[in-house]
Amino acid sequence: MTDTPQDAPALPYDPATDVPGFINVLIGIVPAQVLHALAALGIPDYLADGALTAEEVAERAGTHPRSTYRLMRAAASVGMLNYEGNRRFSLTGQGHLLRTGLPGSLRDLTLVQTGRAHWQSWTVFPESVREGTCQAKQALGADIFDYYARPENAAEAALFAESMADLSTLTVQGAVAALDTAGVSTVVDVGGADGQFVLELMAAHPGLQGQVLDLAHAAERASQKAGQRGLSGRFTAVAGDFFEKVPAADLYLLKTILHDWDDERATAILRNCRAAVHDGGRALIVETVVGEIGQPDFAVLSDMGMLAVTGGMERDLEEFDALFAVSGWHRGQTYPVGGGYFGIELSAA
């Protein structure tokens, strides 16, 4: 009797397409750290005025020439640099976003997202999923906000604050342009950090009185920013805790605040705003909104970051509505404001 070959079992995947696709996802760490190295070494700043060879960049940056060439070659493969031939590289549009001091730059955000505090928090991400709570304290010895509050981490904290301001640039102008301030005299930027949002709104509407409510170090920074913009006469910085109480106002701004917190604490913030709001008052929430499941979606990836780093979450509209209902708010208009973010207008229910 001769052996007859058995038919190989059918595989539940296509090796020709599914394996390369899987590998591309798996090595996603690499493009992120390519951006990290570009930003940390200042390479986009050296290329701001035009193409240079990798060796010329290495001389300016004080880096190893061949390793610099390898980094720049990888950066070209992920769309940050153009290869001009003869070992010369120039910036793409996306590459300009890694420059220092350029309006709209995302350099600081890149350094934060790929830096120690966030990166270490990702190392215990499976435990976050297993326990249902952020495990950043296990990785850092403190939750992320307490970590940034430590004096030895002041430089990281300042970088984080700057990165949030840079990210705000993508959304604030759109939100200010879309928001109707009829009937509004007083505005409180809840957890507003350096006050970028409320100060921009005040600049657009000279009759408004604005406040920032945040921790003491952030409130002091907001006062400085108001002075720099000549708005001190209409502005007050309030050092406080939005889980305890918020100042009375006609309008509350909560930009990327709710996503930092679980449902219980997000509800507490909203309830405090509802308890203090003037009759007929409103709130504007600026957040990402989770879309259709299975489609490419920045919000669902950001949601993983919130679980890993802050213990918060991104939400879909149904989840937002549940928060609003139990805290005494009613959702009105919802519209894009730029950068993948949405403005969600609330009225007192």
| pLDDT of amino acid 20 | 87
Q: How far is CA 200 from CA 15, 155, 176, 197, in A?
A: 53, 26, 7, 5
Residue 175 lies in a domain: yes
CATH number at residue 318: 3.40.50.150
φ/ψ region of 184 (left if φ > 0, alpha if ψ in -120 to 50, else beta) reads: beta
Based on the fold, state whether residues 211 and 311 are members of the same structural domain: yes
| pLDDT of amino acid 303 | 95
User: Would you say 236 and 172 are in contact if contact means Cβ atoms under 8 Å apart?
Assistant: no
Based on the fold, state whether residues 204 and 57 are members of the same structural domain: no
Based on the fold, state whether residues 66 and 192 are members of the same structural domain: no
> Beta partners for 210?
187, 235
| pLDDT of amino acid 7 | 67
Residue 169 lies in a domain: yes
User: Would you say 79 and 35 are in contact if contact means Cβ atoms under 8 Å apart?
Assistant: no
Based on the fold, state whether residues 221 and 330 are members of the same structural domain: yes
User: Which residue in this structure is represented by tokens 């669902």?
Assistant: 300
Q: Give every strand in the sheet of 209-214, ordered side by side.
A: 235-239, 209-214, 186-190, 249-255, 277-287, 341-348, 329-338
Q: Which of 100, 122, 140 is the last residue of a domain?
A: 100
Q: How many whole angstroms separate alpha carbon 114 and alpha carbon 25?
A: 17
Residue 137 lies in a domain: no
Rg (CA), the chain: 24
DSSP annotation of 7 = P
- Which strand (E) or helix (H) includes residue 37? helix 29-41
Based on the fold, state whether residues 306 and 232 are members of the same structural domain: yes
Residues 6+ apart with CB under 8 A from 329: 270, 274, 283, 346, 347, 348, 349
Based on the fold, state whether residues 174 and 82 are members of the same structural domain: no
List the one residue out of 173, 150, 163 whose CA is nearest residue 193. Answer: 163
Based on the fold, state whether residues 40 and 173 are members of the same structural domain: no
Q: How many whole angstroms separate alpha carbon 59 and alpha carbon 46?
A: 10
| pLDDT of amino acid 238 | 94
Buried b (16+ CB within 10 A) or exposed e, 270-291: bbbbbeebeeebbbbbbbbbbe
Q: Which of 100, 131, 157 is the last residue of a domain?
A: 100
CATH number at residue 68: 1.10.10.10
| Rounded (10°) CA dihedral 208, 212, 213, 219 | -150
> Beta partners for 254?
285
Based on the fold, state whether residues 170 and 305 are members of the same structural domain: yes
Residues involved in catalysis: 259
pLDDT beneath 50, residues of the chain: 1
CB atoms within 10 A of CB 238: 16
Based on the fold, state whether residues 220 and 321 are members of the same structural domain: yes
User: Would you say 35 and 105 are in contact if contact means Cβ atoms under 8 Å apart?
Assistant: no
Q: Which of 52, 80, 100 is the last residue of a domain?
A: 100
Based on the fold, state whether residues 179 and 270 are members of the same structural domain: yes
Residue 215 lies in a domain: yes
Based on the fold, state whether residues 240 and 341 are members of the same structural domain: yes
Residue 76 lies in a domain: yes
Domain that includes residue 75, residue range: 18-100
Number of structural domains, the chain?
2
Residue 271 lies in a domain: yes
Residue 111 lies in a domain: no
For residue 27 the two structure tokens come to: 């090595």
Q: Residue count of the chain, please give it.
A: 349
Residues 6+ apart with CB under 8 A from 331: 317, 320, 321, 324, 344, 345, 346
Residues 6+ apart with CB under 8 A from 324: 270, 330, 331, 346, 349
What DSSP letter does each residue of 157-199 carry, written as one string? HHHHHHHHHHHHHHHHHHHHHH---TT--EEEEET-TT-HHHH
Beta strands at 209-214 and 52-53: parallel, antiparallel or unpaired: unpaired
Residue 222 lies in a domain: yes
User: Would you say 196 and 212 are in contact if contact means Cβ atoms under 8 Å apart?
Assistant: no
